[in-house]
Amino acid sequence: MDNEESHGEIRQRHRRAIDEATAEITFGAWIDGETRSASTGETFRTTDPVIDEAIADVPRCTSEDIETAVDAAQSSFEGEWGDIGVSERSALLNEWAEELSAHRDTLGLLESLDTGKPLEFAKEEIDGAIAFLSYYADIARSHGGKQIPVDGDSLVYTQREPYGVCGQITPWNFPLYLLSWKVGPALATGNTVVIKPAELTPLTALYAAQLSEGILPDGVLNVVPGYGEEAGAPLTEHEDVRKLAFTGEDLTGETIMKAAAANITPVTLELGGKSPMIVFPDADVETAAEAAADGIFYNTGQACDAASRILLHEDIKAEFTEAFLDHAADYTVGDPLEEGTMMGPLAHQGQYEKVTDYIELGTEEGATLLTGGSAPDDPDLEDGWFIEPTIFDDVSNDMRIAQEEIFGPVECLLTFSDYDEAIEMANDIEYGLAGYVITENASLAHQAASDIEAGLIAVNKYPGDDLGVPFGGYKRSGIGRECAEETLDHYTQTKTVNMRLDEPEL
């Protein structure tokens, strides 16, 4: 088969997949239990980053649509949803999760087409989203207040109560997976939600909402697609939105905090990262190289907890680098719909341009490009936003490529000589989402875990996001924790009841 025929085959494969995934779905906003067009009638287009062609047109919602959705959510909170007990809420959430599971293949295909991630990985992430919804449905049953012993003839107890309408803004890199981190705890604790999905990848959020029809009462779950300034800003500024949650980059997080301040609205923010992986001289090199490759090349590096700075002890640097280059070569770049593809394209043109600009900057700053740095030399992939696994050596911690979040498959190798230098380099960053430690010495691992300024520390692995394990950051990486029981506290407020008891009659 010549290149032209192969190239055409990829395009035809994706066109068929788009037709299959979208054949029976109308991608409208989901407001008050029904699919709607934007109030203006305008739409925007989401595209397949492999062939740069349209997947679907989506309503371009504005402040009027946000107002309608918030009103619906408030009415539901004050009405039917507010009258439902925790056991029934849990049952309904689990029923919705089962409905999503029944449509796993369609959701996975939509996610792959919309984001460019390998189909196998996309389906696994759909499974993860379903698992988180069920997890929160189940643990909410035991979430509540407590009795507090006090002196005197009083009974003191607390109870946890929902805020009401929660505004949630979700990112483009893990669309349905990270949506589940927010909508799960919000609904499980009795709130209602208005979600603004990323305009770049809104399809699974919209379809998942449609699959709640007949399960969740009208107005409980609302999904309003649109651009940040037209839909996101009105949501964060709305006085009836009593809780906000956002995942995305830190400058947008600042803007959301400022908007929230006007209404004294509590926020949960999961922001950026520039996470270090410290490889100590006693490390198992294969373990280190595999963890490093997974930590930067999974999802084409578009992960907030990516291990994007590898801090190597000088004694192990040469051996590690050779093994790491081998593992990078194993991350096969190709069509996400083909079995065996490990890395698809970047999710959109803007991200491609950002990543390639950083690669050019790294060379200008004096770093040594060991591999990658450009699109694959494969005519079959020329229409997509592909970048090869890229590794820079001779990086100093003051370079911009070592300090700024690139959000692509670009790794920086740095060198240290002793423990104190490694910890200083690891912490000399504005972010503090994750840190990774590779060592065979348990005492050293515990010490490093204590000294690294980050919300998540993993030892000898690049972890997934396990049910019940808190996830969130220090410093500019955010506020609050997701994925765990304590997340339920972020979606409820404490009421204290202090009751005088009469003295008993003897």
Question: What would the pLDDT profile of 244-262 be if each residue is shown by its tens digit?
Answer: 999 999 999 999 999 999 9
Give catalytic residue positions: 270, 304
Helix (H) or strand (E) holding 493: strand 492-500
Among 95, 82, 458, 490, smallest CA distance to 267 is for 490
CA 55, CA 176: separation in Å to the nearest integer? 17
User: What pLDDT, on a 0 to 100 scale, did the predictor assign at position 152?
Assistant: 83
Token pair belonging to 409? 């498959």
186, two tokens: 């919000």
H runs (alpha helix) in 267-348: 285-297, 317-330
Instruction: Report how far residue 345's alpha carbon sits from residue 326's, in angstroms, rounded to the nearest whole number.
Output: 20
Residues in the chain with pLDDT < 70? 1-7, 504, 506
* Residues in CB range of 434: below 8 A, 6 or more apart: 273, 275, 305, 307, 454, 455, 456, 457, 458, 473
Provide the pLDDT for residue 284: 97
pTM here is 0.95
DSSP state, residue 482: B
pLDDT at 153: 86
What pLDDT, in 10s, does the model give residues 175-208? 999 999 999 999 999 999 999 999 999 999 999 9
